[in-house]
Structure 1
Amino acid sequence: MADLNGKFFWYELMTSDPQGALAFYGDVVGWTSQPFGGGQVEEPYHVVSGSAGGMGGVMAITPQMAECGMRPWWGGYIGSADVDADAARLEAAGGKVMRAPEDIPGVGRFAVMNDPGGATFMLLKGNSPEGMEPAPPMAQGHVGWHELYSGDFDRDLGFYTGQFGWSRGEAMDMGPMGSYQLVSQTGGTDFQSMTGGIMPRPKEVPVPLWLFYFVVGDIDAAAGRVSAGGGQVLNGPMEVPGGGWIVQATDPQGAMFALVGMRSAAA
């Protein structure tokens, strides 16, 4: 069984239109979905699956959440062996507890955190002793890259590497945009081990956030499906080191997401 402590392993979309979002991502990324617990509630939690199984969920923003200012967004869960202890430890290291640890019946215990720069992530310890196995690298429909638009680059980099044990790879100079620091959640330092990057928040991004890159086949075809489905391509397709291509976009409800894939020889 894989050790998921300190690693992103589950991804969740909070949205104003779950059915619309499921149709959009089903077309763009190729997910299948099913209601959790049989769909016996008015607004069920929908589990979405890529080629290697379940990878996340989609749920509705309630009227109460909307009144508090929540807008559609993607969040990520980091595995925790002890959510209460980790929340306290991370707060002492400069993070902030946004929602105190509590139980999700039948699922596990979670907490909502902000890193020192203000980006949100969640901690989760599942109830199942078997846990779940991570998808193979670059599995279709799963997250192939994690990117932090940091509100405080130096503090955030030290926070994630120091508190979760992530390792640092190459730091790439992006000129006026600052440094793009490659990081690995698996402890390796070579390029193939890298699972994400941390960079200063660009001025075009309104708040610090984690951006998740979903793996697709043909990046140009996927970008076309984004536009055809009512989403907006913000950037790309753009080539990145290693031969892949990326697109950054928003879905029809306004949540920001990204895609990573290859470009066909005919493109």
Structure 2
Amino acid sequence: MADKPMPTGFGTFCWSQLNASDAAACEPFYLSLFGWSADHKDLGGLPMTLFKRGADEMGTLMQIPPMASGTPRSHWMGYVWVQDLDATFARAKELGAAPFVPPTTVPEAGRFAVIGDPGGAVLGLFEEAPRPGPSRPMPTGHGAFCWYELTTREVAASIAFYTQLFGWTTREWPMDFGIYTLFLRGEEAVAGLMPMAGPEWEGIPNHWMPYVGVNDVDERFAAVPGLGGTGCVPPTDIPEVGRFAVIADPTGGVISLMRGLD
């Protein structure tokens, strides 16, 4: 598959985390599906699983704490790297974001916050702790996150929000279903926006969708049921881009598989 890395730097996606209703059920699913390994850590008294591919750190898995109203369904959340978390969080609120988690310190890693955009899609913000040496590029290839996509009914409001919050610009990309919007940082595409229109989206909330690169979309999609997951969208070609599919893990966490054109 094409090994073009995701852009890095402020205003780009830098991390993905699965918040799980049952972390113990999710872990073996993803290890088998992507060939990841698990490194179990303690985060200030909270257990955390670091997904790894060799020495590369791919993402994290956290158990959702019990809630009186019931435990939410598992969900993947992407984080955008920001230079000043406090200023970005305050600006997000000014632009109409819901402040779900205020700026919070993660020992030895940095600080994070969680917001809901004007359409309700949840997004993490991350400010990295100072570290020596240059930052490493994002991992590429099988098992690496390769794209992030906002799927929303609030197209105009979302474009206004993200362009003002992160300084992104946009480019329209005509497709069979209508207009797909690319979010750009300079000349680099950092994310996309898929409009939710039609009965097939009924009951699905606005959300950010992460994509993981795989060597063979069809083969990995076929493996999902045997691992306890569910196929949501079968392997489908995207002209000039590649092939993708959408799956759900055993607890309902949804993620996309992707193989780009070589």
Please give the alpha-carbon distance, in whole angstroms, between the structure 1 residues aligned to 2:206 and 2:55.
30
Distance in 2 separating the partners of 1:233 and 1:152 = 26
The alignment-based identity, stated in percent, is: 31
13, 22, 32: which one pairs with 1:27? Answer: 32
Greater Cα offset, 216-225 or 28-37? 28-37
Report the TM-score, using the length of structure 2 for normalisation: 0.86
Tell me: CA distance 1:9–1:52, structure 2 relative to 1, closer, same or farther (3 Å): farther
Query: Which residue number corresponds to residue 196 of structure 1?
Result: 191
Contact in 2 for aligned 1:36/1:47 (Cα 8 Å): yes
Change (3 A) 1:174 1:204: farther
Equivalent-residue separation in structure 2 for 1:124 and 1:249 (angstroms): 27
Cα 1:13–1:256, aligned 2, differ >3 Å: closer, same or farther?
same
Provide, for residues 184-209 of structure 1, a one-character-per-residue CA deviation record: whole Å limited to 9, x for no partner. 3x421xxxx43432022352452110
Question: Per chain length, whose mean CA-contact separation is higher, i.e. which structure has more relative contact order (CA < 8 Å, sep 6+)?
Answer: 2
Select the residue among 126, 148, 163 that pairs with 1:146: 148
The superposition leaves residues 76-115 of structure 1 with CA deviations (integer Å, 9 ceiling, x where unpaired) of 1111222111111111122221122222233322111111
Contiguous gaps of at least 5 residues in structure 2 = 1-6
Moved more, 106-115 or 125-134: 125-134
Structure 2 residue corresponding to 1:58, chosen from 53, 58, 61: 61
13, 19, 23: which one pairs with 1:8? Answer: 13
Write the distance in 1 (CA, Å) between the matches of 2:223 and 2:249.
11
Provide the residue aligned with 1:126 in structure 2: 128
Give deviations 1:218-248, integer Å, cap 9, x for gaps. Answer: 1111101112111111112000133511001
Opposite residue 183 of structure 2, the aligned amino acid is: V
Scaled by the length of structure 1, the TM-score of the pair is 0.84
Deviation at 1:27, TM superposition (A): 1.3
1:119–1:151 contact (8 Å) kept in structure 2: no
More strand by share: 2
Whole-Å separation in 2 of the counterparts to 1:197 and 1:159 = 14
CA displacement 1:149-170 (0-9 Å, x = unmatched): 1241011012222321223233
Residue 106 (str. 1) matches residue 108 (str. 2):
yes
Q: How far apart are the structure 2 equivalents of 1:112 and 1:196?
A: 18
Aligned length: 252
